[in-house]
Every structure is written in C-alpha cells, then in structure tokens.
Structure 1
Amino acid sequence: MSSPEPQPDLERNRLPTLFEVLSRRTLPPVDLFSFYIYMRDQQRSVDYLDFWLDVAQHMSLCRHYVRELRRSVLVGTPEPASQRSSAILEALGDMTHPVAGPSMYATEKERDQDAQMSAYLREDLPGGQGSPRSSNMHQSTPRDITDSNSPANAVRREDIRASAEKILYTFLLPGSEREITLPDSITQDITTALEEHGRDDPEVFDVAKDYVFQAMERDAFPGFLRMKALGNLIPPTLVMRLVIGLLSMFGAFWTAFILIFLDRDRLDRLWILLPFTVGVYCLASYQYSVDPILALLGFSEYTPFNFSRIREPYVRKLLINRSLMVLGVTAAIDAALCVLFIMVPGKRL
C-alpha cells in the first residue's frame, strides 16, 4: 500500500507554515522549490535544507520497508521464532501518514508508530546486533515472505543502512563534503549510534532533524515569507530597480529644471512625465519589493528574469492588495512631481 501524496490546501486563509512548505502542501510562490531557491541564493545555507530533506527521505524509506514487511506478515505465515517481530509489525498499523516531519508536529499516533518502527529496526539489525535474535530467527523474518503484489523494487535492509551512512558522511562528519554546523553533542551521539552501535533507524537523526527545522523556522523562513508572500522580486532585481530609479529621477529633475530655465511652454514640459513615472515606479518597487504590474498579471520572480505563476490563493490576494497600494503611491507621487514642475512659471536665464 503506497502512502497518499500530500495535497495543497486551497482553502488556507493564512500564510503557510514551514512544515506545510516542506511537506509539499503549498503552491508557488511559497512552495518547496521556491524555498530551496531562497535557501540556495539568499541564505547560502541550502545544505541545512538538503540535510532535512535527506533525513525525511530516510524516514520515508524506513516506513516503506516496514510497510512491506507488515504486508508480508499479513499474507504469510511466519515461523514461530519470529512471532515477536510479527506482533510488532502487526501493531504498527497501516502507517499511511505520508510526511516525515519534525516530531513536534506529529500526532500521538504517528509518534507511537514511528517509535515502534525504530524499535523494530533496531531489533532487525544485521547479525542480531540490536537484540538477542538468533541467526535462525533472522532467516525466517517476514522480509523473506513475498507475494505476487510485492513491488519488484522493494526496499532492502541494506538500502536503509546506506541511506543513514550517506547522511552521516555527507553532512555530519568533520570535513565532510557539505558539513553543517550542529552542537557537538548531537553530532557525536549520531556518529556513535551509527558507527559503534550499528544503528540506522530514523530516531538516530530525530534531535538533529528537529534542531535544523527550528533553525530554518527561526532564521530563514520569516525572510522567505517576506520575499515571496509580501513581494514578487528578488534582491538582485531590486538593486537593479534602485539604480534605474535613481538615474531616472536624476534625469527627470535635470530635464525639468532645464525646461523651466529655458522658459519652455507647459506642453513641452509634459515630457518629464516619462522619466518621473519610470523613476517613481522603480523606486516604489524597490521600497515595497513588489512589481505591481507583474503581480496583477499573476507572476513572481524566483531567479533573475525567470517568473512563475502565483498559484497560492492567499498569497495572490495579498500581492494584489499590495500592488494596488503601490500603484496608488506611485501615481500620487508621480502626479505631484509632474504638476509641480509643469505648472511652475518659467524663467529664462
């Protein structure tokens, strides 16, 4: 039985939480892909997100493995020696919760199931390391009982071990390829559990996973929401708009004063409307991190000059409201400047 895929919540009338983003229950521009881009390009800490995703994938791998064992128990008749492990598997239930999230968000039932699953995996260590199970018992585990509905690419016990070791060697060991900074006690506990005790159950990573989740929730996620839910532009584009806005305003003021001191008629001075409009629009976009025209058309920028559709309903509503406000501010300032420099009497020097 496969787990149901998480579905976006189209009725959510609020900003999403980090857990909803990581569990793929949101839509652009506040989806997991956008958060990944933000962590990579703005926070420069995508390794933390990759660690969390790899640990979540490890949890999903373990669930899939144990689900297959449980199904084997239900369709087969295990040997008497494996009655204890069979009872544990039957007690786990269907384990249909699809998301491997932080422990503080799991329900009591899910926490119990995950704890029992980890306990079973510790007992199921190759060579009987986790429990006094005999080699005989190991040979008659439900893993060896198959049925015609078992997938050809069923998860093996060795896959779980390889997944745990990959996480350790990629993110946690000193000098590893993508080492992340964790408290020494957490790193040491994980290393000892994997290398000395031979564990690979998901509980090994629980403390580190929750630590990384809380760090992202505290340090990165608020900035992500400000950028993607309250704006639709990214920092490099904002800097470009600031430069264009300042240059346009300089050109507009220079042109306006030249036309005044040349005593040109007001019809000729109407041309200053163009640079003032461009300048005010760009500076307002920089100030509020919103391009109102793009937002009203339903687009949000995720990399320079690459845009995605705004599909999250609540975010779309927020951006439309902010865009109308920015357009109002732009029109008021632009009109005031143009009226001032067009209506002021000219004086030829």
Structure 2
Amino acid sequence: MSAPVASTPSPVPDLNRNRLPTLFEVLSRRTLPPVDLFSFYIYMRDQQRSVDYLDFWLDVAQHMSLCRHYVRELRRSVLVGTPELDKTSKRSSAILENMGDMSYSAAGPSMYQSEKDKDQDAQMSAFLREERRNNHESPHSSNGRQARPSTNISSTPHELGTDSNSPAHTVARQDIRASAEKILYTFLLPGAEREITLPGSITQDVTTAIEEYGRDDPEVFDVAKDYVFQAMERDAFPGFLRMKALGNLIPPTLIMRLILGLVSMFGGFWAAFILIFLDETRITRLWLILPFTVGVYCLASYQYSLDPVLALIGLSEYTPFNFSRVREPYVRKLLARRAVMVLAVTLLIDAALCVLFILVPGKRL
C-alpha cells in the first residue's frame, strides 16, 4: 500500500476546531495538513518504521466499507422488490429490513461509536454470518447476488461509498471473503509478508474465525482493530503531534541544522577571537553578525524543531526539502505563535554575542 486511502466518502474537515485533533479525526480524514492522514502515514513510515500497523487499520476500515456497501445495496434491492425468497434466506431478509438506512460513518474503534452505529454494525455482521450459513447450506440460495458483476477487491472506499446502482459499483459476496482473507494472510498469520505483532490470543481468535468458521464479517477484526488503534494512539500519535503541530521540520533536516549551527558557531567564535587579538576595528568585526546569526538560527531551529520563517510563511516539511502548506487553522496559529517566540530567542542571543565580541576592546598579541 503506497498511500493511505479514505475509510469514509467525502469527509468534511472541522475548520472551527480550536484544539489539536485526535487520532480518530486524523484517520477519519477530518483534518487538514500538516496533521492529515497523508502526513501521519509518512510519519509512521519514515519516523516510527511501523506503517504496517496503520496499513492494517486502513485495510480493516476498507473491509468495513466494503461490507457496508454490499449490505446497503442488497437491502435496497430487497426493499424495492425481489422474487420470493426461499426459507433459508427469509431470516436474512428480515435482518435487512430491520436494519434501517446504512449510514457511512467513520469506521473507527468501538470506543468512538454511537449506540446507533454499534447496533447497525452488529446487525450487519449478523446478516453476513446468516447469509454465509445460508449459502453454505444451499449454494443456489444467494439472493441473486452471483448473477451480478463484482468489483475488484482493490476498489477504493471512495468508490464503494457511492450511491450508484450501476454494475461498476457492485460488490459481490466473494469480494468480502477475499478482503478478509487478504487481511489475514498479509498481516496476521505467522511469517506473513507484513506481519504485525499482536497478542497471541487475538491473532488466534481471528485466524480460527476466518479459516475454521468461515467468517468474514467486520466483527472478526474488532478486537485487533481496537488494539492497533490504541497502540498507535499511545505510542505514535503524541510524537506525530509534537513534530507536525508544534514544529515544522523532520529529524534528517534537524540533524543537518544542528551540524550547520555548530560549524557556524565555531567559525564565529574563532573569527571573533582572531579579530580581537589582531586589534581589528569594530567596523571589521561587524562581519561576525553573519556566522553568529546563522549559527544561533540553526541551533534554535534544532532545539524547537521549528523553522520560524517557514512557519510564518505557512509551510511544513513532510519529507526532506518537500513542504506542504499548513491548512489546519489551529495548527497554523500555534506554529505562528511559536515562530515569534523562537525568533525572539534567536535575536536576543544573536544580539548578545555580537555586542560582546564587537564592542569588546581589541588587544594585539
């Protein structure tokens, strides 16, 4: 997976939020750069080196969207009128009719779900389990779904979130099964291509449910999804906010600024003492402003993980020397205030050093 995909269609960022966003808001695409989902993905990939956890969460969210689209479309076809269902599928039809409109709320962790969302997800999972048993007992009883064309399993959730009834947007039952197996074989089985570390009991329960009981409903992944969310919220998200909401530079750039700052300060002190002991005029010693200013600016940027000029312009770095516009209103104000503070500290220290080494009397040795 090369880039994060949306788990909900057409999310609306909260432009009036007067606080830092939560992880759930970031994953739900309700935030703007530099604290958006793409920036978090880059952070998990380049800084945390644990992007597999985020990919797992996004794939499970996409699986949820796939199931919602399938059930919503099937419910619509049942409500508008279908041929008489045989006995093995009447229970499934009853579940569909009682389910209510399938809303496309964010596929977040259980702790953030409303009672309505929890109830709908539980009914959806119950329907998928019932339908699987019906299909297993009677291969010809499939509510007419086999005759309908299916989408490729790699379809994005944005496409699946459309209300279109055209065949291009149809999801077949086997797509849901393939999605569940893909998640299992990619992230959870021992020795998997991108195996993530989960408690053994969670991995075993998911594996047994999918492989032995044939389940593919979203509830299969609920415990694993919540565990991964809490792990990211505890171990990765605070560092992400510190880097992107309180600063605008990334570690490789900070190291370069530290080195440049130390070299400039060394050059400034070396030149200052040389000029003093050569008894050069104060006009000549004014050139010391250059190395001291560069050195103090770079060291202050390293200390606060913030380039104040870039912050005032409204830019934030997400990969080396690649910048994005700061669009999250609260973060933009926060960075601007910190930039003014860093500039004040830089000017104060720089002025003190320049005054000291320019005005001190010279003495030729």
TM-score (norm 2): 0.90
Give the CA deviation at 1:83.
3.3
Distance in structure 1 (CA, Å) of the matches to 2:273 and 2:139:
93
Unpaired runs of 5+ residues, structure 1, are none
Residue from 31, 45, 48 that aligns with 2:36 = 31
Once the two structures are superposed, residues 151-198 of structure 1 have per-residue CA deviations (whole angstroms, 9 ceiling, x without a partner) of 212000000000000000000000010000000000000000000000
Q: For residues 322-345 of structure 1, what are the alpha-carbon distances to aligned partners after superposition, in whole Å with 9 as ceiling and x for unaligned?
A: 000000000000000000001100
- Please give the alpha-carbon distance, in whole angstroms, between the structure 2 residues aligned to 1:226 and 1:4: 29
Pair 1:326-2:342 in alignment: yes
How much does 1:90 deviate?
1.8
Q: What one-letter code is carried by the residue in structure 2 that aligns with 1:102? A: P
Deviations 1:298-346 (A, max 9, x none): 1000000000000000000000000000000000000000000011000
- Which letter does structure 2 place at the counterpart of 1:73? V
Q: Percent identity?
A: 79
**Conserved in 1, the CA contact under 8 Å of 2:34 and 2:325?**
yes
Give 1:211-222 correspondences, 5 Å limit: 211-222=227-238
Pick from 116, 126, 131: which aligns with 2:123? 116
What is the root-mean-square deviation in Å for CA atoms of aligned residues? Answer: 1.5
Unaligned ranges ≥5, structure 2: 1-7, 149-163
Question: Residue 276 of structure 2 corresponds to which residue in structure 1?
Answer: 260
| Whole-angstrom distance in 1 between the partners of 2:85 and 2:191 | 48
The number of residue pairs the alignment matches comes to 340
Q: After the TM superposition, list the runs of 4 or more consecutive aligned residues in structure 1 that deviate by more than 6 angstroms.
A: none
Superposed CA deviations along residues 27-83 of structure 1, whole A, max 9, x for unmatched, are 000000000000000000000000000000000000000000010011113415343
Alignment of 1:22-61 (within 5 A): 22-61=27-66
Match of 2:267 in 1: 251
Instruction: String of CA shifts for 1:262-286, please: whole Å, max 9, x gaps.
Output: 0011110000000000000000000
Are residue 191 (structure 1) and residue 243 (structure 2) matched? no
Distance in structure 2 (CA, Å) of the matches to 1:150 and 1:346: 86
Pairing of 1:139-218 with structure 2 (within 5 A): 139=142, 141=143, 143=145, 150-153=165-168, 154-218=170-234
Alpha-carbon distance in 2 for matches of 1:17, 1:179: 26
Within 2, Cα distance between the matches of 1:16 and 1:78?
Answer: 49
Contact 1:69–1:142 (8 Å) recurs in 2: no
Contact 1:227–1:234 (CA<8 Å) still a contact in 2?
yes
Residue in structure 1 matched with residue 305 of structure 2 by the alignment: 289
Measure the CA separation in 2 of the matches of 1:48 and 1:80: 42
Structure 2 distance, partners of 1:241, 1:134, is 68
1:76 alignment partner AA: G
Quick one: distance in 2 between partners of 1:80 and 1:215? Answer: 45
Q: Which whole-Å CA distance do the structure 2 matches of 1:121 and 1:77 have between them?
A: 19
1:67 is aligned to 72
> Which residue does 2:160 correspond to in 1?
none
1:125-146 residue CA offsets vs partner (Å, 9 max, x unmatched): 16644xxx6456x24x264798
Answering whether residue 13 of structure 2 is matched by residue 8 of structure 1, we say yes
Q: Which residue of 2 aligns with 1:95?
A: 102
Contact conserved, 1:72 with 1:145, CA < 8 A, in 2? no
The answer (yes or no) to whether the contact 2:56–2:183 under 8 Å persists in 1 is yes
Distance in 1, Cα, partners of 2:323 & 2:307: 12
Q: Distance in 1 between matches of 2:138 and 2:183?
A: 30
Say whether the 8 Å CA contact 1:76–1:145 is kept in structure 2.
no
Q: Distance in 2 between matches of 1:144 and 1:177?
A: 31
The offset of 1:93, in angstroms, is: 1.5
Q: Distance in 1 between matches of 2:261 and 2:83?
A: 75
